[in-house]
Amino acid sequence: MEQSDYSYSSLPNDVALKIASSLEVPDLSSLGSCSRFWRELCGSDCLWESLVKERWPFLYAAVLKDPIKSWRGFYIKRHEEKRGQAVSVIKFVERCSESESLEVNDYLKAIVCLETMQFGFKDVQMLLFKPKLNVLLNLVGLHYCLNFLQVPASHVVESLQSSKISDRQVCVKWWKLGRWFYGFRMRDESHSRCVSLEDLLTAKDQEVLGVLDRGAIHDVLRVQISFPN
């Protein structure tokens, strides 16, 4: 271990910092467990301040007024808070979709919760874009990033692909008020579409995303999101 520490410390600090600053948080934490040299370097305030700024830019601007004892400690505490908030949203969606379908009002309520909790794009990537979660939660995160955070669709697609959930599918069904024809109202119209998460972000299925965004209003009587058969 002593020899390992010596060889690592022979790296110029700026080179070592450059290596560490290119890593995601899990990889940075793993690197910090390799040796005493890397543990000290990977705990550097300059690295963790940059990570806080990248993940929570608005929060970072607000806390600059107060002295931060440890940016790493601040990041970990904030991450745990976000994870706890994500768990509450996950439980809400899972409870509302016990019958394997989710009504659009509950779906939109989950998205509003993310907005109230001030989730950022990184928060969604780390906590909701997970293959082990059900696809309805992936969809909530996708919709929130695209319409509320205004993240470019190409960035969201890239994130879905790296998380290996871009091909996951959801089924969206909506009922529209029947049209009037010569003084008579025709039967209500039923529409159904199964679509992948990635296709929702392209021109292929903008209609489905529009229906989800508007919810059950005006001529749309009901919208239901479910798992594919």
Per-residue pLDDT tens for 112-121?
999 999 999 9
Burial class (CB in 10 A: 0-12, 13-18, 19+), 56: buried
Q: Locate tokens 């529209």: which residue?
A: 176
| Backbone φ/ψ region at 3: left (φ over 0), alpha (ψ -120 to 50), beta | alpha
Q: What is the dihedral of CA 18, 33, 41, 162, to 10 degrees?
A: 30
The CA-atom distances, in angstroms, between 209 and each of 27, 102, 128, 144, 170 are 35, 15, 18, 11, 11
Helical H runs in the chain? 2-9, 13-21, 25-32, 36-42, 45-55, 57-63, 71-96, 104-116, 121-127, 135-143, 153-162, 197-200, 206-214
Residues 109, 125, 33, 41, CA torsion sign:
negative
Per-residue pLDDT tens for 147-187?
999 999 999 999 999 999 999 999 999 888 756 666 676 67
Task: Say if residue 28's pLDDT is above 50.
Answer: yes
Q: What is the pLDDT of residue 185?
A: 62
40: confidence class by pLDDT, cuts 50, 70, 90 = confident
**How confident is the model over 22-47, as a mean pLDDT?**
88
Contact 34, 55 (CB under 8 A): no
Q: Give the residue, 188 or 25, on which the prediction is more confident.
A: 25
DSSP string, 48-96: HHHHHHHH-HHHHHHHTTS--S-HHHHHHHHHHHHHHHHHHHHHHHHHH
**How confident is the model over 103-108, as a mean pLDDT?**
94
142: confidence class by pLDDT, cuts 50, 70, 90 = very high
Q: Give the residue, 104 or 203, on which the prediction is more confident.
A: 104
**How confident is the model over 64-70, as a mean pLDDT?**
80
Q: What is the pLDDT of residue 175?
A: 86
Task: Say if residue 2's pLDDT is above 50.
Answer: no
Q: Locate tokens 């209500």: which residue?
A: 188
**What CA–CA distance (Å, rounded) separates 166 from 200?**
10
Contact 188, 176 (CB under 8 A): yes
Strand partners, 170: 195
Task: Say if residue 141's pLDDT is above 80.
Answer: yes
Q: What is the pLDDT of residue 211?
A: 86
Q: What is the CATH number of domain 2-73?
A: 1.20.1280.50
Q: What is the pLDDT of residue 36?
A: 87
**How confident is the model over 83-95, as a mean pLDDT?**
96
Residues 6+ apart with CB under 8 A from 59: 52, 78, 118
**pLDDT over 70, % of the chain:** 90
Domain parsing of the chain, residue ranges: 2-73, 74-226
Closest by alpha carbon to 135, among 163, 165, 105, 110? 165
DSSP class of residue 200?
A: H
3: confidence class by pLDDT, cuts 50, 70, 90 = very low
